[in-house]
Chain A
Amino acid sequence: MDVELTEIVEALCQHAPFNEIADDPSLNDMVKEVEIQYVRTGEWVIERGTLNNTLFFIRSGAVEVLNKNGKLIRRMNEGELFGYGSLLRGGKSSQSMRAIEDSLFYRIPARWFLKLYEESDTFSDFFELDRETRLKAAMDSQTSDVSLMTCPIKSLLRRDPIGIDVGESIRQAAQMMTEHRVSSLLIMENEQLVGIVTDRDLRTRAVAEGLAYDTPIKAIMTKNPTVMDSGDYAAEAVLKMMELNIHHIPIVKDHKTIGVLSTGDIIQKESHGSIYLISDILKQTDVDGLKAISRKMTHTFTQLVVADANTQMIGNAMSHIGTAFVKRLLQLGEEQFGKPPVPYCFIALGSQAREEQTIKTDQDNAIILSNRYDPEKHGEYFEQLSHWVCQGLDQCGYPLCTGDVMASNTLWRQPLSVWKNYFSEWIQEPKAEALLHLSIFFDLRGIYGDKLLANELNKHIRQEAKNHSGFLSYMARNANQRKPPLGFFRQFVLDGEGKQSRTFNLKERGIAPIIDIVRVHALACGSDKLNTIERIADIEAAKLLPDGRARDLALALEMIGMVRISSQKDQIENGEEPTNHVNPELLSSFEKRHLRDAFHIVSRQQEFIKFRYAGKRS
């Protein structure tokens, strides 16, 4: 008699981690020991403090998890698992689980759970109890070198093929290669590709062999070289090159040779198209030209996302592009209005200063003027210049700042001495409400002009912050204003109080809180870095946080940031405006699971800074 409980195996294998081990024949034996239990809405499944000896799989229905104080921890639905915490710790459950819908559970005996946990890494990784470790494992599994996998060879070809007739001499071939600055030459006969010659061939087959220069090129060419189709993936070309130990592959399209792919082209690809975009920006002679380029921005952005660039790389690229626009606009402005009468520094604030810009960000900028600035004499010049830049940026896809934090606002176009006074006042007599709006000023980078002005201001800020510890407690409280969600339940975002909503702002509730936390620590340890990841390194070095905790923030930031950019990429591809809003229905279970861990890390670190920088309320 062979009993096959296919219904149960199939249900389990539709969900992680069982889908990963679906081939494991022991699953069939396992389900023979599964128990099934029906629980009505409102009834307890596991009560806190009771001994639990099974892993629960929610076949249908939903469950709510409460901690020892009765506080909601999470909600779970079909396909999710619970009870493993007590199984791994080998004891009583520290949480309570209650059915919030009529639910059917498959109960997997502890023995089987522990066996699979021992035997399969993919299985045990899933149940890693430590959120930080779990998140790290998940991020590691995501970083793969797939950028070349997704791009076709034709996107890497940089020039038309250079060819020579098969009857020509070695000397003529060498001359041609020199003239066109190529490292390989196609050998043609009646417009058909018959061979290829490379620099190396000239060296090893001609010079080293002492062949006469008028020997026909035919003598040293590689006959009938391996070719690839322009539509093949670049990754396949890399494999082919490695396999045959060659550095050049002629690329054909519809039987016609359209170029040669070299190892150099592939290395180029890795350093991204954004570099070309920047040199293009700096070549433009008017705003219309810049505008035209700015339309390619979304394309560059999606390319970077598709190429699996991480958020740090993308933030960096987008910020440098943004800076290039500012730079070129100011150069054009100076051509138009004349040389600046006194030195000035154009500063970027917020994400651009941190080099964490994404697509579609408002402009946040200001100008620090030299202390020699005289409003009577120089005011008009800088008024014109700043309006020119801000309007220009607006046309190039960086909309005007709704809070009017821009160089065009006189308030934010002041001499260094005034700026120093601003910060001294904010730091010495902080007002919580005001600081919330001003926190953007604490990420400040000089991007054009006399950058010493920006450096001096930053030094002043660090000095003042160090001398006024009360300020840090205000910043810490500010960093606690925006709370991340608890997690997800079905198609909803779940908040601590059990509130469920359809969409949420990833920037407001995930990324900004991390940046805020890190900024407080960075000010506390006097870091001169602006980039959040770099600040985290300084915080770690200063040992402001328990071991490893600083790096957890970087992990959480990367996780949340990845979800944001990939969702923005999808929005762009669907012809929508990219936003920071995310609809949980569009998230994968992988994303939901690990976002939840990231949110948890953020909440905990928010709590931590409240105590770490607990100052007296004034």
Chain B
Amino acid sequence: MSATVIRSTRASQATIGIGAALCVAAATLPFWGESSWMREFVEIACYLIFAMMWNLLAGYGGMVSVGQQAFFGLGGYVMLSLGNFLGFNPFLAIPLAALVSALAALPVSRLAFRLQGGYFSIGTWVIAEVFRLSIANVSAVGGGSGTSLTALRGISRATREHTTYWVALGCVVAAIALVYLFLRSKQGLALQAIRDSEVAAESQGVGVARMKLAVYVVAAFGCGMAGALYFVSNLRISPDAAFGVNWTAFAIFIVMIGGIGRIEGPLIGAVVFWALNKFFSDYGTWYQMGLGLLAIAMTLFFREGLGGFLQRRLGFEMLPTRRILKLDAQPATPVPAHTPAAPSQLMPKVSL
């Protein structure tokens, strides 16, 4: 039997087309937009990439880490060190910083993976705190009060802002494409299977432990990239800003609002977060409490998130990872299982 499988729909092709057009339009922003818009975009891009990685970890891999800021901060500090001390162009240092974060995830995973469930969550947070305290004791990068990125001093403000914006746009597009293509691949099947039932995935031949490690390392890469990008834009870094647990808290919020375990979740969540942040952040603590309440309400009453709601309402996925078997292509063979003989003929009763 030769199976015909549909991997994309008109709606999803349209989504990708519109997305590509938006990216091209966005790329021209530096020529007509204000610099505050670019700064805002870079900031939300960092949150988005960070949230996408958290979604991959928790939503698919079942690893509810509260310590991804460890890799975010590390990415920032590695980028800064490569720029300030080794003379690297900070923009080129971004992928290198991401790579270092990914490498750091290997030994960290040895420790973190010994823990399960809630212990894993708290354990990863503790590990992030160890990172923060360790860096706070390195005087070369300013200790507890932090330091500035001096490597970009020779560059004009406009060039710096434009380049940062374009790099951020590139990072976002790359992160979305990477996650999308990964989830559509054969490995993506394994990851979705793990999301739905770890026990069953393992018994169907999926190497769960190896897959989880791969996801953990990829997530560290993404978080490191987001961190490096954030501090290229910010120009100043400190342990508290780099390793703050707020990063993960906001990522959780973004993912819960958009819908956990679905690729569109963080994209939708990040837009909502940006809007809420823009209009309500002046309320300070009240704003944060509001975010918390909203996240709790979503978790309790609206688990599929906005992404799931939209998908159900519109009847299509924007970025489909599904494999739809085309049924009319099948030969119309009768299904023998439905037409058995009388039960008594098949199963002789045992006289006891």
A and B pair up: no
Residues of A within 8 A of B (CB): none
